[in-house]
A = this chain, B = another copy of it.
Amino acid sequence: MQSNQHYHLDFLKSAFSYDNPYYSVAEVKKWIATQNRKVEVNIRKIPFSALNDWDFYDDHLALRHESGKFFSIDGIRVNTNWGSRQEWEQPIINQPEVGLLGFITREINGILHFLMQAKIEPGNVNFVQLSPTLQATKSNYSRVHRGKTPAFLEYFINASPDQVLVDQLQSEQGARFLKKRNRNIIIKIQDEIEVPDNFIWLTLAQVKALMREDNLVNMDTRTVIAGIPFGEYEPEVTGFFNFLNRNREVDSIPARMLQSLLTSQNALHSFDGILQFVTRLKTQYELKVEKLPLNQLDGWQIGEAEIYHRERKFFRIIAVEVLIGNREVQSWTQPMIEPAQEGLCVFIAKEINGLLHFAVQAKLECGNFDIIEFAPTVQCLTGNYRNEKSMKTLPFLDYVLTVQPEQVIYDTLQSEEGGRFYREQNRNMIILAGDEISQKLPSNYIWMTLHQLQTFIKFNNYINIQARSLLSAINFN
């Protein structure tokens, strides 16, 4: 498959390099602001009855497009023996098609650059965010919407195996999507190509620097970036690593992150041991999901312009009309999900056996493809976490909300996918803990090195999208 034998090192170098002949990070920020000013965006909430081609079909079994394509909002009843709430009903996004999230990369001055798109999504807090080169649903690229073909699609369709650096199936939010997966793909091209003015070449280090800002790098970029393999202590990588460490403090946080990324030697648990841990949980816990009509969901109400929980919790389904300047279709209507409040996703890391480990939560969510996925240490998305009950019952939440600022090594607001979620942003944090966090974890948590997390990412449906979003932001320089 891989004629490009050095792709691990190529990725690693790009993660260290700001050597971009066109744009510095500061200039990219200005460029995004310019892109934002250049387009006209108008998003307006409308009643369901004003949706074009969308309706409550089959006696409210689903809110869907008349073509049967795109996605639908279904109702489900969930039964499980996981957690304290073992039976509930809710709306969920059903989108069985595998979407494509793809980057074109190219070496510029010997450093791999990623072709980013300044893409407008209706739900984005900042309308324009940096997205992958191509971001397309199957409906999208098979042109159900009768718009023009997305730019650069043919590069991915025609890519030869030796151009492909990464090709993975990755899950979306398990509490909102029913078993949804996307294809995350990175290809490398040799020749220079012409690039429209809403596209930009960036190094991986630059992308990671932009993730330190609120809502500039979209979720689709973050999930693809998270899947990049950097290899292990191979001879060529070790040489590079030693070179780096001669030029910086070896006990700096980025250096320790890189060490945790490249080896699992002295890891607390063996890889087989972690697989045993997740097998045990997958056999112990059951997840049963049945479809129900939307107007029969316990606790949920269909209004004229929203499907909402009676206690105004979790999220609501709304309908919007979108008017956008530089998208392939200029105007359309669609349902979206609007969260009831801001969420919180946190990884707690800690040095164990001289190696940084992350406290990983095994979590059952109703839309999971395979019952359990690995999630961040703290993940609060569907309920208001700022209340006394959550503080008392959710492991580590109290610690996270009262942690010393100097222990917080990453803290930004990041958006969920703006094509489905209306202005949903979640606080993303990474905390470097000391002795105040015990090595002993609650029963569904386990310590892993970055190297182990990165290995699991290669396989389908092990690491959830919130965990991947956090991992994508970790930088090594």
Rounded to whole angstroms, the CA-CA distance of A280 and B166 in the bound complex is 11
* Neighbouring B residues of A9 by C-beta, 8 Å: none
Q: How large is the interface on A (under 10, 10 to 19, 20 to 34, 35 or more residues)?
A: 20 to 34
Rounded to whole angstroms, the CA-CA distance of A272 and B183 in the bound complex is 15
Residue contact A2 to B272, C-beta cutoff 8 Å: yes
Which of B1, B270, B271 is close to A270, meaning CB atoms less than 8 Å apart? B1
| Residue on B nearest A7 in the bound complex, by CB | B272
Residue contact B459 to A276, C-beta cutoff 8 Å: no
Residue contact B458 to A1, C-beta cutoff 8 Å: no
Residue contact A277 to B370, C-beta cutoff 8 Å: no
* Neighbouring B residues of A77 by C-beta, 8 Å: none
Residue contact B272 to A370, C-beta cutoff 8 Å: no
Residue contact B161 to A276, C-beta cutoff 8 Å: yes
Residue contact B279 to A169, C-beta cutoff 8 Å: yes
| Residue on B nearest A269 in the bound complex, by CB | B1
* Neighbouring B residues of A273 by C-beta, 8 Å: 1-2, 161
Q: Would you give the 0/1 interface string for A252-279, flagging 1 where the beta carbon is closer than 8 Å to chain B?
A: 0000000000000000011111111101
**Minimum C-beta distance from A61 to chain B (A):** 15
**Minimum C-beta distance from A389 to chain B (A):** 31
**Minimum C-beta distance from A219 to chain B (A):** 19
Residue contact A2 to B183, C-beta cutoff 8 Å: no
Residue contact B98 to A270, C-beta cutoff 8 Å: no
Which of B100, B161, B283 is close to A183, meaning CB atoms less than 8 Å apart? B283
Residue contact A370 to B460, C-beta cutoff 8 Å: yes
Q: Would you give the 0/1 interface string for A158-175, flagging 1 where the beta carbon is closer than 8 Å to chain B?
A: 000100101111000000
Rounded to whole angstroms, the CA-CA distance of A458 and B276 in the bound complex is 10
Residue contact A276 to B167, C-beta cutoff 8 Å: yes
**Minimum C-beta distance from A172 to chain B (A):** 15
Q: Does A212 contact B (CB under 8 A)?
A: no
Rounded to whole angstroms, the CA-CA distance of A324 and B326 in the bound complex is 73
Other 12 A-B pairs with CB < 8 A, given A100-B283, A167-B275: A1-B272, A1-B276, A2-B272, A98-B283, A164-B276, A166-B272, A166-B276, A167-B276, A168-B279, A183-B279, A229-B272, A459-B459
What are 22 inter-chain pairs, A to B, with CB distance below 8 A? Answer: A1-B269, A1-B272, A1-B274, A1-B276, A2-B270, A2-B273, A98-B282, A98-B283, A100-B283, A161-B276, A164-B276, A166-B276, A167-B275, A168-B275, A168-B279, A169-B282, A183-B279, A183-B283, A272-B458, A275-B458, A282-B460, A459-B459
8 closest residue pairs by CB, A with B: A1-B273, A167-B276, A167-B279, A183-B283, A2-B273, A98-B283, A2-B270, A1-B269
